[in-house]
Amino acid sequence: EEFVKADGGPGAQRAVAAVIALAREHLSAFERGAAALPASLRPAFLPLVLTRAYLGKMEGRSPLDGAARLSALRRHWLLLRRASKGWPAI
C-alpha cells in the first residue's frame, strides 16, 4: 500500500530491495549457464552485462529518486569488455 501511494517510505524501500535481490538471483543463474550458450546466441544476451551495474546503482536509494543511470562511457566499457572476453565459465 505504501509503495502504491508513492511516498517512498521504508515499505517501498523494502519492496525495491526484494526485487533487486530477486533480480540478482536470476542474473547469477544466467551467468552460471552463459558460457554454455551457442556462440550464435551470445550477442543477444550482451545487454545483460549492464544489469549488475544498474542494480548496484539502485541499491540503497529511494524508489522515488528517479531512474538509475550509468554514464555512456561505463555502459560501453562494460559491453566492450564482455564482448571481447565472452561469458566466463562459473
Q: What averages of pLDDT result for each successive group of 10 residues across the chain (90 residues)?
A: 64 86 96 90 94 91 82 97 83
Total number of domains constituting the chain: 1
Kindly tell me the burial class for residue 66, based on how many C-beta atoms sit within 10 Å of its own C-beta (0-12, 13-18, 19 or more). Answer: exposed
d(CA 17, CA 23): 10
pLDDT in tens, 50-66: 999 999 999 877 777 78
50 inside domain: yes
90 inside domain: no
For 34, the domain range is 2-85
To the question of pTM greater than 0.85 for the whole model, the response is no
